[in-house]
């Protein structure tokens, strides 16, 4: 007998098609959806104040999905938890001069933790999502996270912080499929998504700039000085939240060669800039590492992805302690950014990941 499977329904084509495929394959399927408090396209101001998910406008959208799929969809109010675990992490990272990746946190702390436990409380044995990744189980029960077959849609990077236990309870029906085929299946079966947001979008920004996000929350950044790599003051900035590592736009300091952001010095409210060659790094540190499959010994040779759109680069990882490591790249990498996730691959398999730290 196939296990009862809950599908995380976002309202997009991927999650809808994942649910459809499981149902067609004879699985006992139910849907679950979590409210973040940032569903601005479905909510008004009064809706944001209520803690009653059954009165939330998103519930009406989920009923449309229920009718299309022929399965029940339960709605979980995660506004408090999403604010604590994801939004506050995002804000704190920026205030500390790091560039956050909230999707990495949301997948491990919300979807495959709080939402998974909620699904289990409803009788489900596992949680399926529309991620383009694959999972392989060994005979001994060890779970392996693999890249999705569609190289343009592979989302294994975003799941690198799942624990072995979370991965064992996960299901990825789209892992062997290409996006074009998923869209075709949805159209042939009359599935009409209520949102077209891609999974890698930051859901609580909703197309606004980071500047607007902070200003809306009365988080104010002070103007400060722009300093070159030699310590010379060359201009002024309007707030460090306008910048990220590797950025060229907005520095507005005349020079023979363009300036690029090298560091956000939040302690002294300074923007440190240099030339393009100064952005290349051969070594970086990773902290708070999560091992899905921990190597038996170090150092190891693998490939490391330092942001979602980065091509994994050959590197050697040396363990510093249980939760930290040094990453040495075979060739220098551009814009190694503190706060981003460094994800470790051996072939097509994700073995773990950590947060890039400031210390080189």
CA distances from 323 to 142, 170, 285, 303 (A): 21, 24, 11, 19
Q: Is 171 a catalytic residue?
A: no
Task: Determine how many CB atoms are found less than 10 A away from the CB of residue 2.
Answer: 11
Q: Which two tokens stand for residue 235?
A: 């201009």
Report helix, strand or coil for 90. Answer: helix
Query: Looking at 78, 106, 171, 302, which residue is catalytic?
Result: 106
How far apart, in whole angstroms, are the C-alpha atoms of residue 161 and residue 167? 10
How far apart, in whole angstroms, are the C-alpha atoms of residue 19 and residue 21? 6
Detail the DSSP E strand segments found in the chain.
Answer: 5-8, 29-35, 73-77, 126-128, 133-137, 143-147, 170-171, 224-228, 233-237, 260-265, 270-274, 280-291, 300-305, 313-321, 324-334, 341-346, 349-356
The answer, yes or no, to whether the previous bond of 172 is cis (omega within 30 of 0) is: no
Which H or E run includes 49? Answer: helix 45-49
Task: Determine how many CB atoms are found less than 10 A away from the CB of residue 326.
Answer: 18
Q: Is 284 a catalytic residue?
A: no
Backbone angles phi and psi of 56, in degrees to 5: -80, 135
CA distances from 335 to 88, 193, 340 (A): 25, 36, 11
CB 340 within 8 A of CB 99: yes
Report helix, strand or coil for 65. Answer: helix
Residues forming the active site: 106, 203
């Amino acid at each position: 007998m196939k296990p009862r499977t809950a599908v995380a329904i976002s309202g997009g084509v991927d999650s809808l098609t994942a649910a459809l495929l499981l149902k067609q394959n004879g699985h006992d399927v139910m849907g679950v959806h979590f409210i973040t408090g940032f569903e601005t396209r479905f909510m008004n101001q009064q809706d944001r104040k209520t803690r009653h998910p059954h009165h939330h406008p998103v519930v009406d959208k989920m009923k449309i999905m229920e009718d299309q799929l022929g399965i029940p969809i339960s709605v979980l109010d995660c506004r408090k938890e999403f604010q604590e675990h994801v939004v506050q992490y995002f804000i704190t990272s920026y205030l500390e001069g790091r560039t956050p990746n909230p999707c990495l946190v949301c997948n491990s702390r919300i979807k495959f933790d709080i939402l998974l436990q909620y699904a289990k409380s409803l009788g489900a044995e596992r949680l399926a999502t529309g991620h383009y990744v694959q999972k392989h189980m060994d005979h001994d029960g060890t779970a392996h996270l693999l890249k999705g077959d569609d190289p343009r849609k592979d989302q294994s990077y975003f799941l690198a912080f799942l624990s072995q236990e979370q991965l064992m309870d996960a299901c990825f029906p789209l892992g062997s499929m290409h996006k074009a085929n998923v869209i075709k299946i949805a159209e042939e079966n009359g599935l009409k998504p209520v949102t077209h947001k891609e999974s890698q979008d930051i859901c609580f920004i909703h197309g606004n700039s980071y500047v607007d996000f902070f200003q809306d929350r009365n988080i104010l950044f002070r103007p400060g000085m722009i300093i070159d790599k030699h310590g010379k003051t060359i201009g002024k900035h309007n707030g460090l939240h306008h910048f990220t590592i590797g950025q060229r736009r907005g520095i507005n300091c005349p020079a023979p060669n363009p300036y690029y952001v090298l560091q956000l010095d939040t302690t002294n409210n300074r923007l440190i800039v240099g030339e393009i060659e100064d952005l290349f790094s051969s070594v970086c540190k990773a902290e708070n590492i999560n091992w899905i499959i921990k190597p038996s010994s170090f150092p190891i040779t693998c490939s490391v992805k330092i942001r979602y759109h980065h091509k994994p680069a050959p590197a050697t990882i040396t363990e510093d302690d249980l939760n930290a490591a040094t990453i040495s790249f075979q060739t220098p990498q551009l814009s190694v950014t503190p706060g981003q996730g460094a994800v470790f691959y051996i072939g097509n398999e994700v073995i773990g990941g950590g947060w890039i730290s400031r210390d080189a």
